[in-house]
Amino acid sequence: MGRVLVAGSINMDVVVKAGRHPRIGETVAGHEVLFLPGGKGANQAIAASKLGAPTTLIGCLGRDAFGRDLRAFLAATDLDLDFLRDTADAPTGTAIITVADGDNTIVVIPGANASVNAADVAAPPLAADDIAVCQFETPLPAVTAFLERARTVGATTILNPAPALPCDRRLLGLADVLILNETELGFFAKREIGPTSDPATILEAARSLQTDSRQTICVTLGPRGFLALIGGEPHGEPGRPVTAVDTTGAGDCFVGAVAARLARRHTVRDALHYANVAASLCVQRVGAAPAMPSAAEVAAQVEG
């Protein structure tokens, strides 16, 4: 089995639960505020690790109270933290998350995540049977350097270009598996894509991002499941009928699950099925990193 190496963000999620989202200029009373571990990188790494893959997290924390809390939380997992750095130059990354009606809005303040650099991603050992995973919450030069390095050693690359940012199209082409949601797909494909877009429109937009026919493009669709192009072939699964209490981190769960499954040499199609099940468990719990399911929990659903 290969390792999963995730280079990415680590945030303290300040989660506010409210009856509904405020409109612009409006104040609403919330019910509760929670301080929970998050960040797309940390969430994806914890998902992969809990789903059975030996996993390394590459990232950066501030030397502050949030940084200390997050390091303690991460130290209690099975993650390899040898390449997790502290910096005194920036505060720990923070995300302000409002959860209402089972959905969320997020504002991220990158802080220390913005100092992840090419030297950080060059440090860990990386081999051909490993899976390299990154997102867009750390600087794009570091993301590019990590994916290029992974390509050089023959590792499998997974890119989750979230949040969507303008970038060189070549960067998306460094991913063997590109996983993004509808909003991100619309951004990169430069077309209107939303919750009511039909499968043909989504697949056509996904095809416009594909740089070579071996690349997998997977579009996660929340409660509608996912649609993918696997080596040019369309494939999809509906969402599982569950009651979502908090969708924060569901996309990260999906990415981490795909990575864990590919590290065990399962096919892409199997990995996407497994990830769809894992994400359906994640949305039934509050928070991002703490909501990631275990391998046993996913197996109970997959097997029946």
Residues tagged active-site: 252
| Cα–Cα distance measured from residue 125 to residue 128, given in angstroms and rounded to the nearest whole number | 10
Q: Is 17 exposed, middle or buried (0-12, 13-18, 19+ CB in 10 A)?
A: middle
Asked if 246 touches ligand RIB (CB under 6 A), the answer is: no
Binding segment toward ligand RIB, per CB under 6 A, in 23-31, 39-47, 80-88, 192-200: 39-47
Asked if 95 touches ligand RIB (CB under 6 A), the answer is yes
Q: Kindly indicate which of the ranges 7-15, 52-60, 118-126, 263-271 contains the residues binding ligand RIB, using the contact rule CB under 6 A.
A: 7-15
Which residues in the 165-224 window bind ligand RIB by CB under 6 A? none
Site for ligand RIB contains 111 (CB under 6 A):
no
Q: How far is the CB of 29 from ligand RIB (least distance, A)?
A: 23
**6-14, 51-59, 203-211, 220-228 -> range binding ligand RIB (CB under 6 A):** 6-14
Contact window for ligand RIB (CB under 6 A) among 34-42, 45-53, 83-91, 273-281? 34-42
For residue 124, say if its preceding peptide bond is cis, omega within 30 degrees of 0. no
Shortest distance, position 203 Cβ to ligand RIB, whole Å? 24
Q: Which of 58, 108, 221, 271 binds ligand RIB (CB under 6 A)?
A: 108
At its nearest, how many Å lie between ligand RIB and the CB of residue 153? 28
| Stretch 119-138 residues interacting with ligand RIB (CB under 6 A) | 137
CA 41 to chain CA centroid, nearest Å: 6
Interacting residue ranges for ligand RIB, rule: CB under 6 A: 9, 11, 13, 38-40, 43, 95, 106, 108, 137, 248-249, 251-252, 288
